[in-house]
Amino acid sequence: MRSAISAGHDLTADTALQVLKDGGNAFDAAIAAYLVSFIAEPCMASAGGGAFANVLTADGQLKVFDFFCQTPLNKRAVDELEFYPVDVNFGETTETFHIGRGACAIPGAIAGVFTMHKNLGSMPMKYLVEPAIIAAKNGVIVNDFQHLDFTLLEKIFAASEKGKELFFKDGKVLQVGDTLKMPALADFLDYMSREGESAFYQGEVAEKIVRDYRDNGGQLSLSDLKNYEVVIRDPLQFKFRGKSIYTNPAPSTGGSIVALLLNFLSETPKNQQPWDFGHMNQVREMLEKFAKVGTKPADIAAQLGQFNVFDKYNFHQTNRRGSTSHFNIVDNKGNAIALTTTIGEGCGQFVEGTDIHMNNMLGEAALLPNGFHSWEENVRLSSMMSPTLVLDEHNRLETVLGSGGASRIPTMIAQVLHYLIDYKMELNEAIAAPRMHLEHNKLNVEGGFSHQFDQKNYPYEINHWEGSSLFFGGVHTLHRRKNEWLAVGDQRRDGVVR
């Protein structure tokens, strides 16, 4: 059986492919691809961010590597923080995010890379880091989707001299066809390949972070960095139409919402009506049921019953838009990985001498429902990110998928699985098919359906979109039909395949 890759950027996918060709496994390929995404997809991935990786090994082990961001051990007085709002215009809406050093949580990306390598890797780290070093040094040509992201986050990149140096040219954000270079990141990665994860969490780089944050309104300490740990969890498992679904467990809520949504769908017969009208009503009813439950973990757990796993966690739940990317890799040895990553929108500040943009996880209102600075110390943050694996009735891997899209991630994943499993669509059709999302008393209906809902029949606002949009996620997916892997990158977010 051939290998397959779906990802958010050509260079991310090409890097993974080359590692597989050189004899690496899916996890080697994922490490190299993730590091390359720091330069190829810098609005979504960074050594200053975090991620989740859902893995299946050739011998049948299923694990989730949680290297998402953690809250600091100690809070700093609010009046001492560099913490301020910026408005980001997304076209259909404007959202306010908070940035500055005081908005930054403890990053997990580098620890995740080395923990995955220790547990699953087969090739030398020096080899796996090399593609990212070359890309950072030589540069990556800006494509349409990256330019769109740079434009959206222009105010955040403009918050520091380093951001202006890297992401602006002649007073404007980099345009399509320009080259983004991160030479200091290349130097850091080379240093990291020799020193290991301590290159970030201890020593000179850690001391730079701590000194900068101490003197300029941040909250990260040397103890925060030294004590960060990757958590390897058992995935959340549930059944849908005889399939076994494995996804992101607590303390994140995204996987449990996928489980809840598919549980609602399972209450209705398969293929009750022809595709389009039948799907629209099935999914609308599913979304309405979910809206009544809400996103509070205790309420989700109560609905799921046997999945009541939240009571032992004291965590925050996020409903963010975020800047998120995802990729999937399966190899011909039987290994598979789905990895989703984010830096929020970034805090606007870069680590001196490294070109590393730090996250702003503590600067988003929806992440902190009790108000800014209400977070508890030393807590792993929650997320909607839901890298997901599906095993068929014979316990063979059938689907690997995940998405960006913040609060829409679970609903988009559930709908793609609905298309694939209930309607048995071809993979490209299932990814291209229009989607819906109900939130804040508004049902957003993506363009492409032949039927429209009549506003007078529903107690919430109906927003019919004219076409497809990245608002409805980017569900990059691998799917097995018989013994052949098919791959589709969601064009809503310029997905690519190899």
* DSSP code per residue over 321-343: ---EEEEEEE-TTS-EEEEEEEB
CA distance linking residue 287 with residue 281, whole number of Å: 10
Cis-peptide into 251, omega within 30 deg: yes
Q: Which tens digits make up the pLDDT trace of 174-218?
A: 999 999 999 999 999 999 999 999 999 999 999 999 999 999 999
Query: How far apart, in Å, are the Cα atoms of 290 and each of 201, 295, 317, 477?
Result: 40, 8, 16, 24
pLDDT at 334 > cutoff 90? yes
| Structural domain contains residue 36 | yes
CA distance linking residue 403 with residue 394, whole number of Å: 26
DSSP per-residue string spanning 104-130:
--B--HHHHHHHHHHHH--S-HHHHHH
How many beta carbons lie within 10 A of that of residue 306, not counting itself?
7
Quickly state the pLDDT bin for 239 (edges 50, 70, 90). very high
Average pLDDT of every residue of the chain:
91
pTM as predicted: 0.94
Quickly state the pLDDT bin for 443 (edges 50, 70, 90). very high
Q: Which tens digits make up the pLDDT trace of 389-419?
A: 999 999 999 999 999 988 889 999 999 999 9
Quickly state the pLDDT bin for 329 (edges 50, 70, 90). very high
Give the list of residues 6+ apart from residue 1 with CB closer than 8 angstroms, or none: 332, 483, 484, 485
CB 223 within 8 A of CB 59: no
- pLDDT computed for residue 95 by the predictor: 75
| Structural domain contains residue 83 | yes
CB 181 within 8 A of CB 215: no
What is the 3-class SS of 260-323, one letter each residue? HHHHHHHCCCCCCCCCCHHHHHHHHHHHHHHHHHCCCHHHHHHHHCCCCCCCCCCCCCCCCCCC
What domain range is 159 assigned to? 4-233+319-367
**Count of structural domains within the chain:** 1
Give the list of residues 6+ apart from residue 495 with CB closer than 8 angstroms, or none: 6, 7, 8, 474, 476, 488, 489
| Structural domain contains residue 72 | yes
- pLDDT computed for residue 368 by the predictor: 67
What is the 3-class SS of 350-365, one letter each residue? EECCCCEEECCHHHCH
**Which of these is catalytic: 12, 253, 318, 324?**
324
- pLDDT computed for residue 367 by the predictor: 61
CB 423 within 8 A of CB 407: no
Quickly state the pLDDT bin for 1 (edges 50, 70, 90). low
Quickly state the pLDDT bin for 312 (edges 50, 70, 90). very low
| Structural domain contains residue 423 | no
> 160-164, 342-346, 350-354: lowest mean pLDDT where?
342-346
What does the pLDDT average to over 446-451?
89
What does the pLDDT average to over 142-169?
96
Q: Which tens digits make up the pLDDT trace of 240-292?
A: 999 999 999 988 889 999 999 999 988 876 655 555 666 788 888 889 988 88
| Structural domain contains residue 34 | yes
| Structural domain contains residue 329 | yes
3-class secondary structure, 496: strand
CB 447 within 8 A of CB 465: yes
Give the list of residues 6+ apart from residue 186 with CB closer than 8 angstroms, or none: 132, 133, 134, 136, 137
| Structural domain contains residue 410 | no
- pLDDT computed for residue 302 by the predictor: 75
Q: In the numeric block, which tokens belong to residue 272?
A: 């009750």
- pLDDT computed for residue 406 by the predictor: 80
Which residue would you say has higher pLDDT here, 371 or 434? Answer: 434
> 58-72, 86-100, 203-217, 333-347: lowest mean pLDDT where?
86-100
Residues above pLDDT 70, as percent of the chain: 92
Nearest to 263 by CA among 294, 307, 296: 307
CA distance linking residue 221 with residue 230, whole number of Å: 18
Nearest to 50 by CA among 97, 8, 122, 112: 112
pLDDT at 126 > cutoff 60? yes
Q: Which tens digits make up the pLDDT trace of 472-481?
A: 999 999 999 9
- pLDDT computed for residue 321 by the predictor: 45
Which residue would you say has higher pLDDT here, 285 or 310? Answer: 285
Query: How far apart, in Å, are the Cα atoms of 108 and each of 46, 117, 295, 306?
Result: 10, 14, 25, 30
Nearest to 49 by CA among 402, 342, 323: 342
Which residue would you say has higher pLDDT here, 317 or 106? Answer: 106
In angstroms, how far is CA 277 from the centroid of its own chain?
Answer: 31
Which residue would you say has higher pLDDT here, 306 or 180? Answer: 180
Residues above pLDDT 90, as percent of the chain: 76
| Structural domain contains residue 466 | no
Q: Which tens digits make up the pLDDT trace of 72-98?
A: 999 999 999 999 999 877 665 677 889
Annotated active-site residue 341? The verdict is: no
Parallel, antiparallel or unpaired: strands 168-169 and 140-141: unpaired
Is 104 exposed, middle or buried, given 0-12, 13-18 or 19+ CB atoms closer than 10 A? Answer: buried
